[in-house]
Amino acid sequence: MGGIPGAVALLQVKDGAISLGNQAAGSSFGPYEKPVLPLSPETTSLYGDITGRYMQDVNLTPRFDVTGALAREMWKQKFGQQVDGVLAIDPVTLGYILRATGPVQLPTGDTLTSDNAAKLLLSDVYAKYPDPAVQDAFFASAASAVFEKVSSGGFDTKAFIGALTDGTKDGRLRLWSADEAEQKQIAGTAVAGTLPTASAETREFGVYLNDGTAAKMDYYLDKKVSVGSSVCRKDGRPTSVVEVTLKNTAPADAATSLPRYVTGGGDFGTEPGKIKTLVAVYAPKNGIYLGASQDGKGAALQTATDGEHPVAQIQTLLAPGQSTTFRVAFLGGGEVREGRSAGGVDARRPSDQGRAAAVRLRRAGPGRLTAASARTVGHSMTALLAW
């Protein structure tokens, strides 16, 4: 899932009724001279202080509790209103919702459907409307139109719940509450945005992608992830290898055929047509980083920890048609009993199952509803819509 928070809106929930309040472009927040809330040294080291200075960057970190708190504070500083939580959703999930509600007509004359939502919102809009201000207005109108369609009712509610379920399974919905009791109910669920965990039965690894092109080229980035694990040590600790393959699928003439807003035009240090990506691989707590390679050779990367999670982060730069494969190995902690291996894959993008462990892939961009908020009365929530 993912993308920057391109549109931000206020959702007000009272006595079971939901209404849409203020809307604003993500770019209209800040930039702030310093982070709006203190950042941990790990967040600053891995993602920079821009995580807390720009609304578009609050989801650089995969920790959605951090993202939610930052977005809430930015909303307060802009509108003087303290919201109760933050919900993040992406265009693919909007497409799922439109399967249930049917298409919506936009003020521009465009029709947003379940089939074209992702492509229109993530790619076509930039060619059709090159002015960023017009793009922001388009995104706001799309969010408003879908919300009005949902709030008006008259559609298959079972299909609607199914759409949200699909978005949640894909990792495309995130929810955070500023209320500690509510957040405890959210924690550990599929919408919480928690980091990988490990037990005697399973081990998870998180693969998070951040666009470094500062443009919209990652629409053309193909991703494949696999993970494998084996137990060869007497103490039963497993060795797991996560493999990430990225390919730039943009046309060969992308530098000239794609809009400047999409390529970045070289304004941010990346040659037009190329895609720069930061790939962060997170292991469960107490894992130990063993080594990494890129295309069969030693890899230059950043190793760090985020809380107790080992992290290996590498930067890639791909020209149209070019691909690269990054492999990183970790030694597991003592949570897996001797002679046991775990199985299963939980990936949002195409991925292959290894002999053991599980992998989760997402762009460290938004976001992903739980019934915990449905029972609240008089709540206000900031919705981040990621493009």
Q: Tell me the pLDDT tens digit for each residue of 147-189.
A: 888 888 888 899 999 999 999 999 899 999 999 999 999 998 9
- Residue 386 above 80 pLDDT? no
Q: Comparing C-alpha atoms, which of 122, 50, 30, 66 is closest to residue 268?
A: 50
- Residue 259 above 50 pLDDT? yes
The residue assigned the tokens 């390529």 is 263
Neighbours of 364 (CB within 10 A): 25
Quote the pLDDT of residue 231.
83
3-state secondary structure of 318: strand
Q: Are strands 275-282 and 204-211 parallel, antiparallel or unpaired?
A: antiparallel
Most confidently modeled range among 66-70, 233-237, 376-380? 66-70
Strand positions, DSSP E, the chain: 5-14, 17-25, 85-89, 104-105, 111-112, 173-177, 204-211, 221-230, 239-248, 275-282, 288-294, 297-298, 302-306, 309-318, 323-331, 351-352, 358-363, 379-386
How confident is residue 3, by pLDDT bands cut at 50, 70 and 90? confident
Quote the pLDDT of residue 358.
56
Helices (H) and strands (E) in the chain, counts: 10, 18
- Residue 223 above 70 pLDDT? yes
Quote the pLDDT of residue 254.
97
Q: Strand 204-211: give its sheet, edge to edge.
A: 302-306, 309-318, 275-282, 204-211, 358-363
How confident is residue 367, by pLDDT bands cut at 50, 70 and 90? very low
- Residue 1 above 50 pLDDT? no
- Residue 342 above 70 pLDDT? no
Mean pLDDT, rounded, for 275-296: 95
User: Among 278-282, 314-318, 355-359, which stretch is predicted with the lowest mean pLDDT?
Assistant: 355-359
Q: Tell me the pLDDT tens digit for each residue of 27-49.
A: 999 999 999 999 999 999 999 99
Rounded distance, CA 321 to CA 333, Å?
39
- Residue 381 above 70 pLDDT? no
Rounded distance, CA 12 to CA 17, Å?
8
Quote the pLDDT of residue 368.
27
Average pLDDT, the chain: 85
Quote the pLDDT of residue 343.
36
Please give the DSSP secondary-structure letter assigned to residue 156: -
How confident is residue 348, by pLDDT bands cut at 50, 70 and 90? very low
Quote the pLDDT of residue 383.
67
